[in-house]
Chains A and B, each alone.
Chain A
Amino acid sequence: MKSYLLPEYILERDYARCNKCKICIEQCTYAVHRYDAINDAVHSRSENCTNCQRCVVFCPTHAITIRRNPNSYRENYNWTQEAILAVKEEAETGGIIITGMGCDKPGLTYWDKLLLNASQVTNPSIDPLREPIELRTYLGKKNDRLNFETNGGEAVLETELAPQLCLETPILFAAMSYGATNLNVHESLARAATECGTYFNSGEGGLHPSLYKYGDHIIVQVASGRFGVHPAYLNIGAAIEIKIGQGAKPGIGGHLPGEKVSEEIARTRMIPTGTDALSPAPHHDIYSIEDLRQLICALKEATEYSKPIAVKIAAVHNSAAIASGMVRADADIIVIDGFRGSTGAAPKIIRDNVGIPIELALASVDQRLRDEGIRNKISIIASGGIRNSADVVKAIALGADAVYIGTAALVAMGCTLCQKCYTGRCPWGITTTDPQISKRINPEIASQRLVNLLRAWSLEIKEMLGGMGINAIESLRGNRLQLRGVGLTESELRVIGVKMAGD
């Protein structure tokens, strides 16, 4: 069948600058560039280009420019080019359109409509360069009250504390599985988490034994496929996360395609090499809050109550009620992954239409738990669409204890959001399990980039906190007076729980 799809990008080469070094040919994993020996020139097939910018960055003479293909259908606000192309692609293939990364549609980011406060005259701001500002965060159940007894004039804590995760900065690396990404990416994240005193989430594909040494800074994930879940895996992590859903594809499962299941990944996931790794939408032992409690208790039994158990859900319409149930189910941490959360592969129609933005879900969950007087019994991690340190600060002011960053961490390592993760050919070496392409991520360098990112964000967070006159991140948590909304309707302001700017 003749394909009617338009090429998305035009690749232009400045032949005066091109010195035919062929680096672009080596760097492109989609076979865009090729050398024409007869004419001694390098040519390009624009139609294969995903606009990942790999060749542009690596071209020593800056001879390459990538532009959006100016060819377009007649302008139509209803039938956009994207809508028309989607119909054509489905008509040609009969298959679901898959995409990578988070939702790219405008108008659903509330962070940009929330503004932070700063101290002026009536309360002094703090200079973080001179005064300590505390970012350390503990995740886990907090007791209603603490009992002490005196022992020879010394106060001794009588109450048994629930296990906690200690973060030096309220930012964790989100779950990205071994299989969706490769060992180099996992190692970079694990090293950076260890160096920064935070945590990296293994994702649902198990953990390669070579990373067990970073176990104190790893949250291990248990998803419906139970890939790579065994007692050693559960015990090596600092915490266990039960994955119910993710923001990019609430309500549906995941299929890691067989091409990505190499021998090493198969061994770690405990499945045969080359088979699809199927993670169904539900855990088949969890059909209710009571069942969730059962898995939480089983995991606690398996680890002798030594570590917190997190439960990750996608932000959906009844998140607040579910969160309340999770507290009763004895979870220690709830992870809410918002509408703009990222993924290696999701049906585009699901990614762009299912779920709700994290800002709204977070605000309603925090409010619900406060109303019920159980907010202290669980910590909240917000996730899905955190782009910078201001988003972190706004999330914490809305009620989060900490945030997960996934896309931001990948961007730090090289990702350019070309949204083609599902091909398994990531030119930046991130979402590929091809041993040659994976080498493009050097854990030594990539972890340094991640450490730098967290350092920069932590400094920025301290600046913002100091400006508000707050010297500990704990005092910001759920402190919605530090937020004001702009361009929001009455009901949006009500759900988010903030006042209009100027009010």
Chain B
Amino acid sequence: MKQTDFHIRGRSVDSFETPFQLRVKNGLAIVDAEGTCYRDLNALLRKLNSNGIKKAELYNVYGQRYIGTSLNGNMKIEIYGTPGNDLGAFMNGAKISVYGNVQDGCGNTMNDGLIVVHGHAGDLAGYSMRKGKIFIRDDVGYRAGIHMKESQNIRPFMVIGGSSRAFLGEYMAGGVILVLGLNSHEERHRAKFVGAGMHGGVIYVHGEITNLSKEVKVVDIDKSDVRLIRSLIKEFCDYFNFNFDEIMSRKFTKIVPVSHRPYGRLYSHYAHARQCCNVLLNME
């Protein structure tokens, strides 16, 4: 245990014991996370956040889970290493940059904020996110963007630089997924069952998708789509230093759900209600 004093703008505000190598100066915290438990790490981040630290750099992150869980405000976190599952779960406004790959469930049920991954992401990236943005430079695993939702004017965005595995946008109820198809050796994406159960939102893809699920269809891109894609690609290029014009020159396919009520026809009472209504109308 090391005694650590916080110094913010030259003023000592708090001190507590921490298992970390920690340096704090002018609102920037530098943390060596090697060999520490996620519980301590998150407690530290919350403590730093509540003490007005604007930015934390975490070094030697080796698989600690739940980093940034439920973190409020607009604190910036830079992670060097490989954070564990559920990075930024339930996150509420923080901005996380990862210099390395992330594992499963990155941005799980994220409420707001930004996650920028300079590498690959595991399965379930952006599970049920409803606001904020996730940018992943390379590929994502299975079920990326599952259950993404939007309501009223609140909309989540996920940009995937590389490709995705199966069940991209599964059960999607809203939001935007953009797949750029960079770093790919093949023209064709390997993702199967894209948009299975999708009933809201939109997926833009560069490159061929051969296996769309029955709940979605391909439609033409209009001007508003181009505006949206342009702004997302702009942001993507700012984070990862890609050539904006080169990416913008690519062709994108727009995938939308066939219906926002995909399973209404499964049940007998809908058919029956229609029939009864007809009977009623005939009787009147």
Contacts and interface: CB of A to CB of B under 8 A. Distances in A.
Interface in B57-81: 65-66, 69-70, 72
Contacts of A45: 280, 283
A231 B267 contact: no
B173 to A, nearest CB: 5
B267 A258 contact: no
Contact of A97 (B109, B130, B268): B268
Interface of B: 38-39, 42-43, 46, 65-66, 69-70, 72, 85-86, 89-90, 92, 104-105, 108-109, 111, 124, 127-128, 130, 143, 146-147, 149-152, 154, 170-171, 173-174, 197, 199-200, 260-273, 275-276, 279-280, 283
Interface in A265-310: 266-267, 269-278, 280, 284-285, 294, 297-298, 301-304
A226 interface: yes
Contacts of A273: 151
Which bucket holds chain A's interface residue count? 35 or more
Most buried by A among B46, B149, B260: B149
Nearest to B43: A304
A298 B272 contact: no
B42 A301 contact: yes
B17 to A, nearest CB: 17
Nearest to B130: A270
A94 interface: yes
A14 interface: no
Contact of A275 (B152, B199, B267): B199
Given A229-B109, A270-B154, A423-B269, 18 more contacts: A3-B272, A45-B280, A89-B272, A93-B272, A95-B271, A226-B109, A226-B147, A230-B130, A267-B152, A269-B151, A270-B150, A271-B174, A271-B200, A275-B173, A276-B261, A285-B127, A298-B65, A301-B42
B124 A284 contact: yes
A414 interface: no
A422 interface: yes
B66 A298 contact: yes
A284 B109 CA distance: 12
A231 B154 CA distance: 16
Most buried by B among A257, A266, A276, A303: A276
B70 A96 contact: no
A303 B46 CA distance: 12
B124 A285 contact: yes
A255 interface: yes
A361 B283 CA distance: 51
Contact of B151 (A96, A231, A266, A278): A266
A230 B92 contact: yes
Nearest to B105: A285
Contacts of A48: 276
Most buried by B among A3, A93, A94, A257: A93
B89 A298 contact: yes
Contacts of B39: 301
Nearest to B39: A301
